């Protein structure tokens, strides 16, 4: 018997959708002075661009950028503008998997992002309990879950 799907494919896509509005892009992906100081510690335009892109993805939508993913063009563009690194530097950065992993770990350490683990399940379930008694809509619970994880700097698990 096949497993019951709680979310439709479009609902899954919606949960991790990146903003398309320029105001939202600026609000979510603008760097602070502290961010710039940290980014500038990395040598080379490609590394500064890559570090900035990974930082953006961890902040919103709240995921570590998987090695096989290419960043969204809008995020690449906004990070490129802020770091003075050309967007076409991305392939130079992305081909070194070790650098991407090292920078992801550095971002998690410096900014306090945590990987979702079994230790997070009790508090996460507890945060959703009241809402779960009010609805049987999977998307409502999934959105609340994501909001809870983001507010606690916990990177989202795979859907």
What pLDDT does residue 80 have?
Answer: 96
What pLDDT does residue 1 have?
Answer: 56
User: In sequence order, what are the residues at sequence separation of 6 or more whose Cβ sits closer than 8 angstroms to the Cβ of residue 54?
Assistant: 64, 65, 100, 103, 104, 107
Give 28-70 pLDDT, tens digit per residue. Answer: 999 999 999 999 999 999 999 999 999 999 999 999 988 888 8
Q: Is 66 helix (H, G, I), strand (E, B) or coil?
A: coil
Q: Is 115 helix (H, G, I), strand (E, B) or coil?
A: strand
**Residue 138 DSSP code:** H
- Kindly report the pTM of this predicted structure: 0.89
State the Cα–Cα distance between residues 147 and 39, nearest whole angstrom: 27
Closest CA to 113 of 155, 65, 60: 155
Extract the residue ranges of the chain whose pLDDT is less than 70. 1-3
State the Cα–Cα distance between residues 145 and 141, nearest whole angstrom: 6
What pLDDT does residue 116 have?
Answer: 95
Output Rg (C-alpha) for the chain, integer angstroms. 17
State the Cα–Cα distance between residues 137 and 64, nearest whole angstrom: 27
What pLDDT does residue 3 have?
Answer: 67
Q: Is 154 helix (H, G, I), strand (E, B) or coil?
A: strand
């Amino acid at each position: 018997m096949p497993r019951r799907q709680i979310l439709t494919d479009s609902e899954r896509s919606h949960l991790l959708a990146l903003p398309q509005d320029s105001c939202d892009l600026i609000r979510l992906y603008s760097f602070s002075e502290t961010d710039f100081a940290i980014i500038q510690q990395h040598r080379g335009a490609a590394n500064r661009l890559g570090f900035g892109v990974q930082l953006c993805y961890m902040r919103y939508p709240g995921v570590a950028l998987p090695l096989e993913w290419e960043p969204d063009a809008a995020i690449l563009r906004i990070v490129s503008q802020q770091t003075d690194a050309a967007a076409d530097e991305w392939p130079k950065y992305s081909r070194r998997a070790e650098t991407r992993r090292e920078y992801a770990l550095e971002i998690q350490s410096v900014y306090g992002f945590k990987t979702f683990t079994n230790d997070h399940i009790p508090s996460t379930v507890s945060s959703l309990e009241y809402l779960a008694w009010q609805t049987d809509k999977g998307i409502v619970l999934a959105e609340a879950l994501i909001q809870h994880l983001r507010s606690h700097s916990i990177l989202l698990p795979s859907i």
